Structure 1
Amino acid sequence: MQLHQINIQYDMAQDRLLLRVSTRDRQEYRLWLTRRFTALWWPALFEVLGHNEAVRRQGDPELQKAVLEFQHQTALQGTDFRQRFDAEELAQGMAPLLVHKVQMRRDGEEHYLLVFSPQEGPGLEVRLPERIMHALARLLTEGVKQADWGIAAPAAAQPDLPPAAERRLN
């Protein structure tokens, strides 16, 4: 599956987030994310992003957090979040999947493998480059804000930037 676009939107009627993944061959997969699932997955997503060599090399937890925040901001710089999601044909036989669990792991140096599973039956396996994983984390952050579920953001989703008057470049 070659990724084309990824999108997360809050659906008020369902009180869930809808994660949409479209592929280059014009197939779309839809995943429902409940509040409970999202509250567990959101911090885990940032934790998995922090399991790279540059972050782990830092002995001090504050330095680890700073390196992860830097990587997150750098990865998002070239991403266009304003582009409209192109509706595609739903993948054959693939009704929206109510996600019960997700397994995440690094898949090589610059990719991650995510396996979304319902309580029963087949799930969806997605391989994402690190840059897109950071974009997914950002989309999830925005979706949680839209949902107004009162879930506290993971530390890595909240950069510790001092007020503008206190920032120093040297």
Structure 2
Amino acid sequence: MNIHQVSVSYVQEQDRLLLRINGKEGGELRAWLTRRLALGLMPVLNKTAGEQMVKATSAGPSATSLEDKRQQMVTAFEKEVSLRKGDFETPYQSQAHAPADVPVGPEPLLVTEVKITQMGNGQLRVQMFEKFPGQEINRNFQVLMDAPLSNGLLQLLHQGLQQSRWLEAPVAVPAAAGQAPIILSGVADTEAAELPADAAKPKYLN
């Protein structure tokens, strides 16, 4: 898929993040990210996207003089600033009525596994899988992301985590005498669910 837009939104009723990716030629990929998976994905994506950014900004001939090195550093800095910028203003154009990949189906993947691979051409290959015991067909999809897209996705996930409040400390409920305290924390189930019509306004990247 030639990626056009990426969106990450927190759906409170499901206590999950909804990732949506649409293509320039049409179609949309959708995936649910649970609290456990999203918190585990962030440090991995942060590391690989950072390495991808370094490679993207350091490409070029080696400098020989001090002036060349200074100019190369300035150029690399300007390039990194440019790569980290994204269009977060244009509204996401939902294409849920036309899934990009028929085997994935109309329902979002409930992601249980993510693989991120750095490709030789400087792109990141992001693969998402839905695997459950006894499931005949393991649904999955993969996308290729350049440095601006992967860093944009990182920002969107961070915003989604802030919206979900998963990073906040659990709230302790006062216990009755003689009873152990109950801790309220985010627990994601694995049942299929539809996206509510009044879902929170998504964050998007174009």
1:117 aligned to which of 120, 126, 129: 129
What CA distance in whole angstroms lies between the structure 1 residues aligned with 2:78 and 2:168? 23
- Paired letter, 2:91: R
- Paired letter, 2:45: L
- Paired letter, 2:142: E
Q: 1:48-127, aligned counterparts within 5 Å?
A: 48-52=48-52, 54=54, 73-77=81-85, 79-88=86-95, 89-91=97-99, 92=102, 93-120=105-132, 121-127=138-144
CA change 1:52–1:150 in 2 (3 A) is: closer
More helix per residue: 1
What CA distance in whole angstroms lies between the structure 1 residues aligned with 2:164 and 2:53? 34
Shift of 1:131: 1.0
- Paired letter, 1:11: V
Shift of 1:52: 4.2
Equivalent pair of 1:29/1:90 in contact (CA under 8 Å): no
Q: Does 1:144 align with 2:156?
A: no
Tell me which of the two structures has the higher relative contact order, counting C-alpha pairs closer than 8 angstroms and 6 or more residues apart: 2
Q: 1:20-35, aligned counterparts within 5 Å?
A: 20-35=20-35
Match of residue 193 from structure 2: none
CA change 1:14–1:2 in 2 (3 A) is: same
What CA distance in whole angstroms lies between the structure 2 residues aligned with 1:70 and 1:35? 35
CA change 1:149–1:126 in 2 (3 A) is: same
What CA distance in whole angstroms lies between the structure 2 residues aligned with 1:85 and 1:37? 24
Match of residue 176 from structure 2: none
TM-score by length of 2: 0.61
What CA distance in whole angstroms lies between the structure 2 residues aligned with 1:128 and 1:135? 10
Q: Any gaps of 5 or more consecutive residues in structure 1?
A: 58-68, 153-170
Runs of 4+ with deviation above 6 angstroms: 69-72
What CA distance in whole angstroms lies between the structure 1 residues aligned with 2:92 and 2:44? 26
Match of residue 203 from structure 2: none
TM-score by length of 1: 0.73
Please give the secondary structure, in 1, of the residue aligned with 2:160: helix
Equivalent pair of 2:52/2:147 in contact (CA under 8 Å): no
- Paired letter, 2:46: F
Between the two proteins, the alignment pairs up a number of residues equal to 139
Equivalent pair of 1:144/1:151 in contact (CA under 8 Å): no
The root-mean-square deviation of aligned C-alpha atoms, in Å, is 2.4
Shift of 1:72: 6.3
